């Protein structure tokens, strides 16, 4: 779909349920033309156009978009089987190898034209962490130095920027993705770290190591990207939990894992 082409209004449709999301956007599962679909509403038309553009880049991992009317997007319903739900139900963790295969393919997408996730973005995440965690200001120097070190890494790939279990779905045995409108050109380890040190799932250390080796990662550098990502996630959980209590339970996990990683990096 050409994101510049605005189709007629989406209605009529029947709203079946509202879906939780960690943003101010509104998602509904709806019944439309005899099937279920997802309706995304956002008052910012530029944000919606960006969503459509990135959706096209990510095919076949992104949901099919049925209609776009400038204020709403009607898209494929990927169901309820997120990676988070998959793991919460105790299903085989080996699905992560399939997710890593998908990540490698996604990182081959030409990301020229997307914003660069460089120094300003990395330092901005540290400032975000400090703003929402003033009681942890003792970490400022380490986190800033870490961000600057990572900003010197020149390798670039397509970067989802929120590649974690609640944004990864399994439908028909295939890996699918949502919430990709913040995609950037960035270092490939950022998304990898987001997946392997995901507070929503909190993988076992040995399995995380096995996955990092399967990907072929430099584990020491990957841990530094995990520190960066966990600082961002910890701030996000604190901010989101003010309105959505669901996120509060993940603050201790992200904080403890962040501190463990800092200790590990400092001990090497």
**Residue position matching structure tokens 């400032």:** 127
pLDDT for the residue 4 = 44
Question: What does pLDDT average to over the chain?
Answer: 92
pLDDT for the residue 25 = 74
Instruction: Give CA–CA dist 221/199, Å, rounded.
Output: 19
1-10, 73-82, 176-185, 202-211: the lowest-pLDDT one? 1-10
pLDDT tens column, 126-141: 999 999 999 999 999 9
Question: Comparing C-alpha atoms, which of 13, 110, 87, 5 is closest to residue 48?
Answer: 5
CB 74 within 8 A of CB 10: yes
pLDDT for the residue 41 = 86
pLDDT tens column, 143-161: 999 999 999 999 999 999 9
Per-residue pLDDT band at 218 (split at 50, 70, 90): very high
Per-residue pLDDT band at 12 (split at 50, 70, 90): low
pTM: 0.92
Residue 92, classed as helix, strand or coil, is: coil
Classify residue 49 by burial, with Cβ atoms within 10 Å: 0-12, 13-18, 19+. Answer: middle
pLDDT for the residue 5 = 46
pLDDT tens column, 238-266: 999 999 999 999 999 999 999 999 999 99
Residue 150, classed as helix, strand or coil, is: helix
Specify the CATH number for 14-76; select among 3.40.350.10, 3.40.630.30, 3.30.200.20, 3.40.50.200: 3.30.200.20
Q: Is the pLDDT of residue 193 over 50?
A: yes
pLDDT for the residue 18 = 80
Domain residues of the chain, as ranges?
A: 14-76, 83-267
Average of pLDDT values for 216-220? 98
What number does CATH give the domain 83-267? 3.90.1200.10
pLDDT tens column, 13-64: 777 878 766 556 788 899 888 889 999 988 888 888 999 999 999 999 999 9
9-13, 97-101, 182-186, 216-220: the lowest-pLDDT one? 9-13
Classify residue 127 by burial, with Cβ atoms within 10 Å: 0-12, 13-18, 19+. Answer: middle
Beta-strand ranges (E) seen in 51-188 are: 65-68, 72-76, 157-159, 168-171, 174-177, 184-186
Q: Is the pLDDT of residue 2 over 60?
A: no
pLDDT tens column, 91-106: 999 999 999 999 999 9
pLDDT for the residue 113 = 92
Task: Provide the CA 213 distance to its chain's centre, in angstroms.
Answer: 22
Sequence-separated (6 or more) residues with CB below 8 Å from residue 160: 106, 167, 177, 180, 182, 183, 191, 194
pLDDT for the residue 196 = 98
pLDDT for the residue 227 = 98
Residue 65, classed as helix, strand or coil, is: strand
Q: What angle (nearest 5°) sits at the alpha carbon of residue 182, between those of residues 181 and 183?
A: 95
């Amino acid at each position: 779909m050409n994101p510049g082409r605005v189709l007629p209004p989406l209605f009529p449709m029947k709203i079946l349920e509202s879906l939780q999301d960690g943003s101010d956007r509104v998602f509904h599962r709806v019944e439309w033309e005899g099937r279920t679909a997802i309706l995304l509403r956002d008052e910012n038309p530029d944000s919606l156009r960006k969503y459509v553009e990135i959706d096209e880049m990510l095919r076949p991992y992104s949901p099919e978009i049925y209609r776009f009317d400038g204020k709403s997007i009607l898209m494929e319903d990927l169901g309820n089987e997120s990676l988070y739900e998959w793991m919460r139900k105790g299903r085989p963790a080996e699905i992560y190898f399939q997710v890593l295969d998908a990540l490698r393919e996604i990182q081959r997408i030409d990301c020229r034209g997307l914003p660069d996730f460089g120094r300003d973005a990395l330092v901005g995440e540290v400032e975000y962490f400090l703003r929402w965690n003033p009681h942890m200001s003792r970490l400022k120097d380490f986190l800033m130095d870490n961000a600057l070190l990572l900003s010197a890494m020149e390798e670039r790939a397509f970067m989802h920027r929120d590649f974690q279990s609640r944004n990864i779905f399994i439908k028909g045995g295939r890996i699918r993705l949502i919430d990709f409108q913040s995609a950037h050109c960035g270092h490939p380890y950022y998304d990898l770290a987001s997946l392997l040190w995901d507070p929503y799932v909190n993988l076992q250390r040995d399995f995380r190591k096995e996955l990092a080796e399967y990907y072929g990662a430099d584990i020491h550098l990957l841990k530094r990207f995990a520190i960066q990502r966990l600082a961002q996630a910890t701030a996000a959980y604190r901010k989101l939990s003010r309105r959505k209590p669901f996120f509060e339970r993940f603050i201790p996990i992200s904080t403890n894992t962040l501190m463990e990683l800092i200790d590990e990096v400092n001990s090497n």
